Amino acid sequence: MQRSIILSAALAVLSLTGTAQAQPAAAPAGNVAHGKTLFTSTGCYQCHGYQGQGLGTTGPKLAPTPMPYEAFIRQLRKPRDAMPLYTSKVMSDGDVQDIYAYMLSMPKAKAAADIPLLSRF
């Protein structure tokens, strides 16, 4: 009993001090078709591939499970490494949401066992 009270008190203190890990906010909804158009027209595909699959040394894999939305937009606004800066004047928050929705729409790869040609070996 006393142990659960102490644990509850510790969790309350952590949440009040901001040291408890907050759950990431859900990604905002976006327009997948518009995101696909933007991904191509703004040059994202040149480093990340047409489906966000990554191209090794030029850009990391973004799909089908991109980084959390907050990190995604932060990378566009204040890029690390050799990525162009996409300010809100260049790409609106709505456009970023659409591109993120496009990345989320990518299908996950099938397991090798689920591909008939590969399962024969």
Tens of pLDDT, residue by residue over 79-119, are 988 899 999 999 999 999 999 999 999 998 888 888 888 87
Greater pLDDT, 121 or 18: 121
Interatomic CA distance for residues 42 and 83, integer angstroms: 13
Question: With 90 as the cut, is the pLDDT of residue 45 above it?
Answer: yes
- For the chain, what are the domain ranges? 32-104
Tens of pLDDT, residue by residue over 25-34, are 677 789 999 9
Residues 6+ apart with CB under 8 A from 61: 48, 52, 53, 54
The architecture CATH gives domain 32-104: Orthogonal Bundle (1.10)
> Taking all residues of the chain, what is their mean pLDDT, rounded to a whole number?
81
Question: With 80 as the cut, is the pLDDT of residue 6 above it?
Answer: no
